[in-house]
Amino acid sequence: MSKNLTIVLIALLLTAFYKVVPRIDYPAYFPKPHYNFDANMPNNAKIELGRTLFYDPILSKDNTISCASCHSPYNAFAHTDHDLSHGIHDQIGNRNAPALFNLAWQNEFMWDGSIKHLDFQALAPISHPKEMGHDLNSLLTKLNASIQYRGMFFNAFSDSTATGENLLKALSQFQLTLLSTQSKYDLVKQKRATFSKQEQQGYLLYQKKCASCHAEPLFSTYGFANNGLPVDQTLADFGKYNVTKQSKDSLLFKIPSLRNLSYTYPYMHDGRFERLYDVLEHYSKGINVSKTLAKQLRKPIKLSANDKADVLAFLMTLNDKEFVFNKMHQNPIKNNVLNKGK
Amino acid sequence: MKYVIGTILFFITCNLIAQNAVQVQFSPLIGESTVRLNKKYITSNDTISILKLKFYITDFVFLKNKKVVSAVAKKHQLLNIEQPGTLKFQHFIESEFDAIEFKIGVDTTTQTSGVHGGDLDPMLGMYWTWQSGYIHFKLEGTSKRCTGRNNRFQLHIGGYQEPYNTISEVYIPIENKNAINIAIQIDELLEQLDLSEIFDVMSPGKQAVAIAQIAKRAFKLKG
């Protein structure tokens, strides 16, 4: 009897010291995430380190640009009001920074799918000469010279040395906490709210005309498609083709989620559409037919004025205020080493 | 008396184990000479120097009758000519073997399972930043034939997705022995390239595939 009690007491003691692990919480109607958490176990210290790094312009060569410079928390981590994002020395890139949420369900990143795992995504903007203009080794040298960061790395990984592996894992951990699952649509799905008549009409139209690429509940298959955008000759961006060099991938871009659209204008990989209305107009009148055009778009998507209003009303139900205003995602000002308040 | 017997047995065991230690050495060579960085070498049709040589060896195994009898514990090793200690390792093997096999590069499973540390850490300069993938084999240097800037060639051979998968396998029959010296004939590798045309390979593609095949043939048993 006392032996069993000892075992129970030891077990309780051990659980008391077990670090609180915030698992990502998602609704039952979501599919299982792709990200392998076993390879990168979440803990609060890793997430906090990742968040601090995300908002710290130390990641850029001249300490002016942070991840948040293009991925703003109040805009669902997109770069609002810019068609093309800009980096150090005010250089303008050739793509619009996409919104960041529900990343655990994605396994190809960037508009052209060049990055195949969330862990490696940060290397691209860190090293791009027009974005952060930096390189991994110089960045690690800076981080290892900071007592504050060494302390944070130690708390997160039991190793005070900042390595490429640990830097990237911490950034992944923070980004994985960016969950958008509490929009009105989600409340309706959870039977805690109901659509208005107009929103319901819009939902039906969406299911008929948009859902094959923008499938619920993520509102994207996160696959790639050519949605008929005429090539912008000043950019000559051929999307996935740039990476694979296979002609079947020409003009294919990643299908973005329809969640949080009010916060993430302008739209498309080069931000060419300022308003959602323009997007609907493109699908009804502006599709450019080419060899790789998605088969769903071989015929334009015609919507009456009423239909458009209904669809837009439904799309508004995908905005997630909880996500956008969540303080846990915002700049941890008190921790900042080189915060220039951007 | 117990202690005397014990000590004798200990040393006998040690000797038995010592007999089964195999030293594996990779030797980058130009002709018969060990490659020294930045040194000029005159070959039959060229004057070359090597500035960088870094590559991954994965799944180094010992075989007998085409079946694996022993595998090196460290699955992925980054060999860097700047750090001679990385060009050799020791492996303890009990069984007999008649061949070795290893891959040049990082396997697809590892490439698609997130960031790794140690020899696979991206801070070691063998991971592409603008697209996912490890550089399997990196060779940089100068050649009189090369029309690039400062006669420089930079061959960063990588890619794991079809049809540009450039991971290669090397199989070498070996007589059971304690020291295995694998030569990497850099001169032979470069001789087969038209360096006046191809000298900057920095992404997966047809050129990388061709060079990977040439590179794997440069690995052979020395003496």
pLDDT tens, residue by residue, A140-168:
999 999 999 999 999 999 999 999 999 99
Beta-carbon separation of B132 and A120 below 8 A: yes
Q: Measured between beta carbons, which residues in chain B are less than 8 angstroms from residue A114? A: 130-132
| Per-residue pLDDT at A35 exceeds 90 | yes
User: Cα B44 to the chain's mean position, in Å?
Assistant: 25
Beta-carbon separation of B117 and A119 below 8 A: no
pLDDT for the residue A2: 72
Question: For a pLDDT cut of 90, what percent of chain B falls above it?
Answer: 85
> With bands split at pLDDT 50, 70 and 90, how would you rate the model's confidence at A23?
low
| Per-residue pLDDT at A337 exceeds 70 | no
| Per-residue pLDDT at B119 exceeds 80 | yes
Beta-carbon separation of B130 and A119 below 8 A: no
Bridge partners, B41 (sequence order)? B48
Beta-carbon separation of A120 and B122 below 8 A: yes
Q: Please name the member of B122, B124, B132 whose beta carbon is closest to the beta carbon of A115.
A: B132
- Chain A interface residues facing chain B, Cβ-Cβ under 8 Å? 36, 39-40, 114-120, 123-124, 126-128, 136-137, 140, 163-166, 168-169, 172, 243-245
> Which carries the bigger pLDDT value, residue B3 or residue B200?
B200
H-helix or E-strand spanning residue B51: strand B47-64
Give the pLDDT mean for A277-300: 96
The dihedral built from the CA positions of residue B92, B98, B100 and B101, taken in this order, carries a sign that is: negative
Query: Which of A110, A134, A139, A168 to mutate: most B Cβ within 10 Å?
Result: A168
Whole-angstrom distance, CA of residue A46 vs CA of residue A35: 16
The region of weakest confidence among A14-18, A70-74, A113-117, B24-28 is A14-18
Name, in order, each residue with C-beta under 8 angstroms of B221's C-beta and a sequence gap of 6 or more: B172, B174, B180, B181, B182, B183
B119, closest residue in chain A (CA to CA): A165
H-helix or E-strand spanning residue B49: strand B47-64
Q: Please name the member of A124, A136, A163 whose beta carbon is closest to the beta carbon of B130.
A: A124
How many Cβ contacts (< 8 angstroms) between chains A and B?
70
Q: Where are the alpha helices (DSSP H) in chain B?
A: 2-19, 108-111, 186-191, 206-217
Beta-carbon separation of A136 and B129 below 8 A: yes
Q: Measured between beta carbons, which residues in chain B are less than 8 angstroms from residue A126? A: 129
pLDDT for the residue A335: 54
pLDDT for the residue A338: 47
Question: For a pLDDT cut of 90, what percent of chain A falls above it?
Answer: 88
Beta-carbon separation of A115 and B205 below 8 A: no
B116, closest residue in chain A (CA to CA): A165
pLDDT for the residue A336: 52
A260: left (phi > 0), else alpha (psi -120 to 50), else beta?
left
- Could you report the per-residue pLDDT of A208-219, keeping only the tens digit for each? 999 999 999 999
Whole-angstrom distance, CA of residue A261 vs CA of residue A266: 9
Q: Where are the alpha helices (DSSP H) in A145-183?
A: 147-157, 164-176
Q: Where are the alpha helices (DSSP H) in B51-168?
A: 108-111
Nearest Cα of chain B lies from the Cα of A188 at a distance, in angstroms, of 35
> Which carries the bigger pLDDT value, residue A267 or residue B19?
A267
Mean pLDDT, all residues of chain A: 92
pLDDT for the residue A15: 55
Question: Which of B206, B219, B180 has the alpha carbon at shortest distance from B57?
Answer: B219
- Could you report the per-residue pLDDT of B52-110, keeping only the tens digit for each? 999 999 999 999 999 999 999 999 999 999 999 999 999 999 889 999 999 999 999 99
- Contact in structure between A183 and A317 (CB atoms under 8 Å): yes
Preceding peptide of A217 cis, ω within 30°: yes
Q: Please name the member of A115, A126, A164 whose beta carbon is closest to the beta carbon of B131.
A: A115
pLDDT for the residue B177: 85
Beta-carbon separation of B115 and A136 below 8 A: no
Is residue A302 exposed (0-12), middle (13-18) or buried (19+ Cβ within 10 Å)?
exposed
Is residue B59 exposed (0-12), middle (13-18) or buried (19+ Cβ within 10 Å)?
middle
- Could you report the per-residue pLDDT of A75-94, keeping only the tens digit for each? 999 998 899 999 999 999 99
pLDDT for the residue B8: 81
Q: Measured between beta carbons, which residues in chain A are less than 8 angstroms from residue B130? A: 114, 124, 127-128
| Per-residue pLDDT at A13 exceeds 70 | no
Does the beta carbon of B129 lie under 8 angstroms from any beta carbon of chain A? yes
Beta-carbon separation of A124 and B161 below 8 A: no
Interface ipTM above 0.90? no
Name, in order, each residue with C-beta under 8 angstroms of A111's C-beta and a sequence gap of 6 or more: A95, A98, A239, A253, A254, A269
pLDDT for the residue A340: 40
Query: Which of B131, B160, B162, B207 to mutate: most A Cβ within 10 Å?
Result: B131
Mean pLDDT, all residues of chain B: 93
| Per-residue pLDDT at A341 exceeds 50 | no
> With bands split at pLDDT 50, 70 and 90, how would you rate the model's confidence at A333?
confident
Interface of B with A in 61-120 (CB under 8 A): 111-117, 120
Q: What is the CA radius of gyration of chain A?
A: 22
Does the beta carbon of B122 lie under 8 angstroms from any beta carbon of chain A? yes
Beta-carbon separation of B129 and A245 below 8 A: no
